[in-house]
Amino acid sequence: PITPGELLCLGSSLAFSSLFYYLYRKKARVVARIQEAPKLQVDDDLPALVSAAEGRCLPYVALEGIVLPAKAVLTSHYHARLQGVIQKLLLREHRLIWNSLARSW
């Protein structure tokens, strides 16, 4: 005989397992899209390629090429031969709408 407490534990375990599996599969699809991203070279043809794309946007592309630092190259503290630069970040704010039911934006 199975008690109601055991059924509750089994049901919640199945629900959480299903939720985590769904989230795992969703993230796995995103990772697959990123790994299949086309590799483009940073050259004079890149602006023309971007302007010809739908919405003037290239989703999930890998850019390869040489970059020059604006001020100084960053050197790793742990590996002296590794160097890098900081990418400029673009922040887009989306319009917020007040949700009176949840009392949040």
CA–CA distance, 6 with 73 (Å, rounded to integer):
60
Q: Residue 59's pLDDT is what? A: 76
Place of tokens 């001020």: 71
To the question of pTM greater than 0.85 for the whole model, the response is no
Q: Specify burial of residue 40 (Cβ count, 10 A radius: 0-12, 13-18, 19+).
A: middle
- Number of H-type helices and E-type strands within the chain: 2, 4
Q: Residue 70's pLDDT is what? A: 79
- The alpha-carbon radius of gyration of the chain (Å, integer) is 24
Distance linking the first and last C-alpha atoms of the chain: 49
DSSP tag of 37: P
Q: Residue 89's pLDDT is what? A: 63
DSSP tag of 104: B
Q: Residue 6's pLDDT is what? A: 95
Q: Residue 13's pLDDT is what? A: 97
DSSP tag of 99: B
- Averages of pLDDT over each 10 residues, the chain, 105 residues: 93 97 96 88 87 83 81 86 76 72 76
Q: Residue 91's pLDDT is what? A: 66
